[in-house]
Amino acid sequence: MFEDHSSTRSGEGPDGVPSPGGGLATLRGRVDAARDVDRGTPGWSFDASCSQAAEVVAEAPAGAELLGLLEAEVDGMRTPDEGLLIELIAAADRIVNRAGALQAAFVAELMERRQGSRGISHTRDEIALRLATTGHATETLVGRAAALAEAPAVADALGRGLITTRKADLITDATEGMELAAALTLQEHGAAYGQEHTPPQLRRELEAAVLAADPAGAQREREKAHARRRVMLEPTRHEMAWVGAYVPAAEAVAAYTCVDTLAADTTADDDRTLDQRRADVFTQIFQEILATGHTPGGRTLPERHGRRAAVHVTATVPVLAGDDETPAVLHGYGPISAASARRLAGRAPAGDGAIGAAPGTGAAPVSAPTLRELLDPMREFLPRRRSPDLPDGSDPRATVAWMRLHRLGNPGQSRVSHSSVTTRPITTAADPRAGPSPPRRESGVTDPVTVMRTELGLVCTDGYAPSRRLRGVVVDRDRTCCFPGCLVPAWRCQIDHIVPFDPALPAWAQTVETNLQALCRHHHQGKTERAFSVERDAWTGITTWRTRTGHVYVRLPERSDYTALSEQLRDDVAATWTGEEDAGDVRHAPRSR
């Protein structure tokens, strides 16, 4: 599939330019010889043919020699020949396409070696970790590798750089499930057609070809496609996002017709465009459902982790007070402006909760033996530091003081307010660790859960399943799945014991916030199957993941407070501005694009 496709012609080509098999063996030499010929030809006109140098590059196969030529050309940028520049752009595209074919071959080899092993279902995750990409993107790579193995004409065209990976995917997807003879025929047709046509044109050609060649197979594939229906959210810039739905055409048309009809019902003084009205109608439907908690058909929205469905926003107290412009965080999207956070907070009805820093927790006294008993089984689950270890436990009060000094959590936690947004909107959730202390037992000895909260500031549950309060702490803290690169919202995730739960140990020492994390179902299963191992630094929130190949990947916690970053950037901008003024530099407006 990846052999060198260089021409075998010998002698001289047109106008005396040595052909690939001629005296000048290297591509570099052939291009230089062609340039010499071009210098004696007339300048550009509609009647003139393409330059000889451009023709040499156009015929060059994708490979190391062509890549070397591109690197030499980009370093020198010495050609005034715009025709050659066009062919250099096309040559770079062939290199990219060939690299895609090589990548597919390596993916196929890895999947072949993992066949029959327990880790094959999570090989995609390992590739995603190494490429720092999404699981969906890696799934495309794995699917492409498998499809190219059954499509030799497509694999050859991609290996030669003649079609893009997108076109290759369109061809193999279109012929999936077809009888072998029909599939091979359509693949050859698609590979040839795709070299001269755009992806949308190729898709239409393939649709017609499949319906003509195998109508029964087309019906089977429609049923498979129906099973893959889904809704997608894609964040973009400027606090905007795309919401897409892959659904049957009839249902899509019905939904659009509904939105379009509602958007057309407007007044003369409405200055919004039709597109803007459609967008507003679309979002208003779901805002009303969140506000009421019921669908138009009367179905009640289910709770997640004991909470009503809502959109969550995290902002610092100075931002909400209007004293700071540090970005806030819209969960499931990312940073939003301080003004947007205040706008959302302004929707909150009175009595839904004060916006401000969460109150601190009091410390109830506890006898020394009880505290020592608590700390001993906790040592495996308490936060670790690279600096001095925990005290030896001879003085439990000193241990508690040390724990408080290095207390768990975001340094800016007291500045952060977690809010939930509906169309009624914003409510500020109090810190789950706040509030009055639970009653003490008549014996005067506080139960372990209370001691953990009051003495160490840690929320735990005396059982395997986390309590509603503890689930809320973990969801608010993690905000997304903790696997590197995964952005599944924490409220859709499962709560995982980082160190697996051991029934022989006290439950409250294991079902504690320092030993819990949010993981989506897929990555939770991968951890359970030991495709990965993970450790969490409770002081920084950093999780370290290891694969069986020896690779190590780090997941930083989702940022909740942008204050430090904002202050640093403002200082850097101010310093840069001052330096330019001192140097007498002139600031230029950015170039138009």
Q: Does 220 share its domain with 243?
A: no
What order of strands is seen across the sheet that includes strand 552-555?
532-536, 543-547, 552-555
Inside any domain, residue 343: no
Q: Which two tokens stand for residue 384?
A: 């670790």
Other C-beta atoms within 10 Å of 106: how many?
Answer: 12
Q: What's the pLDDT score for residue 393?
A: 42
Q: Are 83 and 58 in contact (CB under 8 A)?
A: no
Q: Write the CB contacts of 13 (distance below 8 Å, at least 6 apart in sequence).
A: 19, 22, 52, 55
Nearest to 477 by CA among 514, 436, 504: 514
Q: Quote the CA–CA distance of 476 and 493 in Å, as a whole number.
A: 12
Q: Tell which of 209, 225, 241 closes a domain.
A: 225
Q: Quote the CA–CA distance of 304 and 118 in Å, as a whole number.
A: 31
Q: What's the pLDDT score for residue 1?
A: 45
First to last CA, the chain: 40
Q: Does 139 share its domain with 161?
A: yes
Q: Does 181 share its domain with 280?
A: no
Pairing of strands 334-336, 241-246: unpaired
Q: Does 376 share its domain with 501?
A: yes
Q: What is the amino acid identity at position 532?
A: F
Q: Does 277 share its domain with 163?
A: no
Q: Using alpha carbons only, how large is the chain's radius of gyration in Å?
A: 31
Q: Are 420 and 427 in contact (CB under 8 A)?
A: yes
Q: Does 146 share its domain with 235?
A: no
Inside any domain, residue 305: no
H-only helix segments in 409-547? 448-456, 468-478, 521-528
Q: Which two tokens stand for residue 215?
A: 């109508």
Inside any domain, residue 314: no
H-only helix segments in 458-562? 468-478, 521-528
Q: Does 113 share its domain with 249?
A: no
Q: Does 266 share its domain with 376?
A: no
Inside any domain, residue 266: yes
State residue 185 phi and psi, 5-degree precision: -65, -45
Q: Does 152 share its domain with 250?
A: no
Beta-sheet strands, E only, within 30-78: none
Q: Are 328 and 415 in contact (CB under 8 A)?
A: no
Q: What's the pLDDT score for residue 34?
A: 86
Q: Which contiguous run of DSSP H or E holds residue 393?
A: none
Q: What's the pLDDT score for residue 591?
A: 42
Inside any domain, residue 102: yes
Q: Quote the CA–CA distance of 485 and 490 in Å, as a whole number.
A: 13
Nearest to 448 by CA among 432, 435, 461, 434: 461
Q: Which two tokens stand for residue 360?
A: 């601190």
Using DSSP, state whether 532 is helix, strand or coil.
Answer: strand
Q: Quote the CA–CA distance of 144 and 149 in Å, as a whole number.
A: 9
Q: Does 100 share its domain with 174?
A: yes
Inside any domain, residue 174: yes
Q: What's the pLDDT score for residue 476?
A: 87
Please give, one letter per residue, the 3-state secondary structure of 549-586: CCCEEEECCCCCCCHHHHHHHHHHHHHHHHHHHHHCCC
- Over its length of 593 residues, how does the chain's per-residue pLDDT go in tens digits? 444 444 433 344 444 444 444 444 789 888 888 888 877 776 555 555 678 888 899 999 999 999 989 988 887 766 667 888 889 999 999 999 999 999 999 999 999 988 877 667 788 889 999 998 888 889 999 999 999 999 999 999 999 999 999 999 999 999 988 888 889 999 999 999 999 999 999 998 998 888 888 888 778 888 888 898 999 888 888 889 999 999 998 899 899 899 988 888 888 888 999 999 999 999 888 888 888 888 888 888 888 777 787 888 888 888 888 888 888 888 888 888 888 888 887 754 433 333 333 223 233 333 333 444 545 555 555 544 333 444 444 444 444 444 444 443 333 333 344 444 433 333 333 333 333 344 344 445 467 888 888 878 889 998 999 999 999 899 988 988 999 988 888 888 999 999 999 988 888 888 999 999 999 999 999 999 888 899 998 788 899 999 888 899 999 888 777 788 788 888 888 887 766 555 555 444 444 43
Query: Over the range 341-359, which residues count as b (16 or more CB within 10 Å of their CB) and which as e?
Result: bbebbeebeeebbebeebe
How far is residue 286 from each of residues 293, 313, 348, 423, measured CA to CA in Å? 10, 17, 18, 9
Q: Does 220 share its domain with 236?
A: no
- Angle ∠(68,73,76) on CA atoms, nearest 5: 125
Q: Which two tokens stand for residue 524?
A: 């939770």
Q: Which two tokens stand for residue 388?
A: 């001095």
Q: Quote the CA–CA distance of 170 and 172 in Å, as a whole number.
A: 6
Q: Look at the chain and report how many structural domains it folds into.
A: 3
Q: What's the pLDDT score for residue 584?
A: 53
Query: Over the range 248-274, which residues count as b (16 or more CB within 10 Å of their CB) and which as e?
Result: eeeeeeeeeeebeebbeeeeeeeeeee
Q: Does 44 share its domain with 170?
A: yes
Q: What is the DSSP letter of 23?
A: S
Other C-beta atoms within 10 Å of 296: how many?
Answer: 9
Inside any domain, residue 350: no
Q: Which domain holds residue 219?
A: 14-225
Inside any domain, residue 563: no
